[in-house]
A and B are shown apart, each in its own frame.
Chain A
Amino acid sequence: MFELLSEMWSFAFMRRAFVVTTVLSASVAPVGAFLVLRRLSLAGEAMAHAITPGIVIGFVTAGLSVMSLLVGGLIAGVGVAMLTALLARRTILRSDASLASLYLIALAVGIFILSAAGSAVPLKSFLFGSILGIDDASMLLVGGVATVTLVAFAFLLRPLIVSTCDPVFFETQTRRPWLVDQGFMLLLVLNLLAAFKTLGTLMAVGLMILPATAARYWASTITAQLVLGFIFALSSCWIGLTLSYLFPETPSGPAIVLVAGGIFLISAIFGPLGFGKRARKPVVSSDLSVTQIQQEEKAQ
C-alpha cells in the first residue's frame, strides 16, 4: 500500500494532478459556497452546459488549446449570463426560467457542432476532463483563475455576504448592486473553465456544489462555511486522485466527485444541521434564557 503511494508520487503527472486540484479547490470552493447560499446551485450546472458551445467552437476553429477554451468559454458564458439578466429584467420570465431556456439552446448548439465536426473530438475527455494529462498551459489557466478569484473575493466578500443575505437591504446600500451579481457570474464562468479542463463539463460543478452543501450541514457562519468548503473540496480531490491511482480503471474526475458525494452524505446524516439533530428551523421561545440553551446544546 505504502509502496503504491510512494510510487504514485514518483510520477510527474500525478504530482501535477495533486498540485492542480489543490489550487482548483481553493478557487472553486468559495464560488461554490456562494452559489449555494445565493440559491444558484442549479444555475451553476446550467452555466456549465451553457459554456459548451463556446468551448466547442473554440476547439473546432483553433484546436484544443487553453486560449481557445478560455476565449470561447468566456464569450459563451458571459453572453448567456447577460442575456439571462436581460430576459429576467425586461420580460415576464424569472431568471431561473430564462437561464434554463438559454442553456438548453446553447447545449444543443454545442452538441450539434461537436457532432458535425466529426470524430476528431475526444468526446470522453470533453465530458470527464483529463486530469492526468495536465499540460503547463492548463496549470497556468488554473493558477491564473485561482489568483483572479481569490483577489476578487478579497474585494467582494463583504458586499457578496450582504447582497446574498439581504438583497433588498444591499440595493439600498450601493448604487452598483449589479457589480456584485455580474462580477460573481464572471467568477463562476472562469472557475467552470478552469475546472472544465481537469474535470470535464459534467463533473465541473460537482467540486463546487458538493463541498459547499456538505459544509452547510456543519457551519453556522460564513467563515466556517468557506473554510470547511475548502477542506472538503481538497480532501475530495486528494482522496479521489489516490483512489483512481489505486484502481487504474476508474476515471479521476468522477472519483473526485464521488468522494465529495460521500462527504456530503456523511454530513447530511451526522452534521448538526442535518437529519436527526436540530431541525432546520427550530423556533426557540424568546424567553428561554441563554443558560438553558447552552445546557440544551451540551445535552445534544
Chain B
Amino acid sequence: MTAVLQIRDVTLGYRELTLFRRLTMDIEAGTTLAVLGANGSGKSTFVKMLLGLMDPLSGSLNWPKGRPREIGYLAQMTEFDRRFPIRVRDLAAMGAWRGFGFRSGLDNAARDRMTAALDEAGVLDIADRPIHMLSGGQLQRALFARVIMQDAPLILLDEPFAAVDQSTEAHLLSIIHRWRDEGRSVVLVVHDLSSVLDHCSHALLLGGQEATHGPVDDVLTPDRLVAQGYLSESQASWMFRSSPKPQEPAHV
C-alpha cells in the first residue's frame, strides 16, 4: 500500500488546550478512515489540519507523493448559506474552479465531467434548480457532486450523513465505495456508532487527549470507547451486549 499522507508524532490543539498527543499514522490510498470522538475531541480540527488550515503544535505531516493540488472537502452542512442565489449546476461547478482570473470558468471536458457528477450524485434532473428550493438531502447530494468535481486523491467529509435520510445515505455511501475502489483515500468524520462504520476500513478515535488509530474492529472496542470518553460504561455494555440480535419492535 502507498501512503498518501504520513502523520508523524503529531500533537494537535490550541495554545491552552491540547486535543491529542503524539499521533503517528499513515493514510493509505484506497482506504476509508472513520474519525470518531465526543464533542470537542478535535474531529473537525483534525480535518482542518489535513486541509492545511491549521498547523499541529508539534510533529509533521509528510506527503510522499507531494501535497495534492486538490483535497476534496465537504464541511458540515450547518455552515452553508442556503439562501445564496445559485443553481445546483453552478454549485457543483465550484469543485472545478481554477483560481483567480478571467478564464477561470469550466472548459468543455469539465462540462462533461459535471454532467456525469450530477448524474452520479442523483441531482441531474434538478440541476437548474436554485439551492434554496432543495431539501436537506438534495443539497447534500449537490455538495457531493461538487466533491466529485474536485477529482481529488484525498477526500475529507465532515459528518456527511448528519442531516440526510437513509436512502440518501445509502446512495452517498455508494459514491464513497467508488472513490475507494479508484484508490482514493476518504476520511469520514462520523457522529455516532452506526452502520456507516461497516463501510470504513480504519478508525481514528479521539478523546481524553489521546488518539487511537487502527482497523475499525481493533479501535472501536468497548474498553477503548469508555477509556477515551466516547461512551459511558452502561452505554458500552448495552451496545456491545453479548446477544447482538436487536429485539423486534412490537407492533402496535
Contact = CB atoms under 8 A, between A and B. Distances in A.
B83 A154 contact: no
Nearest to A285: B135
Interface residues of A, number: 36
A158 B84 contact: no
Nearest to B53: A171
A289 B75 CA distance: 28
Contacts of B216: none
A165 B137 CA distance: 18
Nearest to A225: B85
A168 to B, nearest CB: 4
Contacts of B90: 221-222
Contact of B71 (A172, A174, A219): A172
A158 B133 CA distance: 23
B216 to A, nearest CB: 27
A290 B125 contact: yes
Interface stretch (B9-17, B95-103, B112-120, B218-226): B95-103
Nearest to B137: A286
Contacts of A289: 125
A299 to B, nearest CB: 16
Interface string A103-116: 00000000000000
A37 B132 contact: no
B231 interface: no
A58 B200 CA distance: 65
B126 interface: yes
A86 B97 CA distance: 29
Contacts of A285: 135
B97 A162 contact: yes
A281 B84 contact: no
Interface in B128-152: 129-130, 132-138, 146
B53 A224 contact: no
Interface string B53-75: 10000000000000000010101
A156 B104 CA distance: 10
A167 to B, nearest CB: 8
Nearest to B47: A172
Interface in B10-38: none
B105 interface: yes
B100 A172 contact: no
Nearest to B138: A286
A162 B94 contact: yes
Contact of B85 (A171, A174, A224): A224
B107 interface: no
B101 A155 contact: yes
A247 B79 CA distance: 50
27 contacts: A159-B100, A161-B86, A164-B84, A165-B81, A166-B80, A169-B73, A171-B53, A172-B52, A172-B53, A174-B100, A219-B85, A220-B130, A221-B85, A222-B86, A224-B85, A280-B132, A281-B83, A282-B132, A283-B134, A284-B134, A284-B135, A284-B138, A286-B138, A286-B165, A286-B168, A290-B126, A293-B129
Interface of A: 37, 154-156, 158-159, 161-162, 164-166, 168-169, 171-174, 179, 216, 219-222, 224-225, 278, 280-286, 289-290, 293
Interchain residue pairs A-B with the least CB separation, the first 6: A220-B130, A168-B75, A165-B84, A158-B104, A172-B73, A290-B125
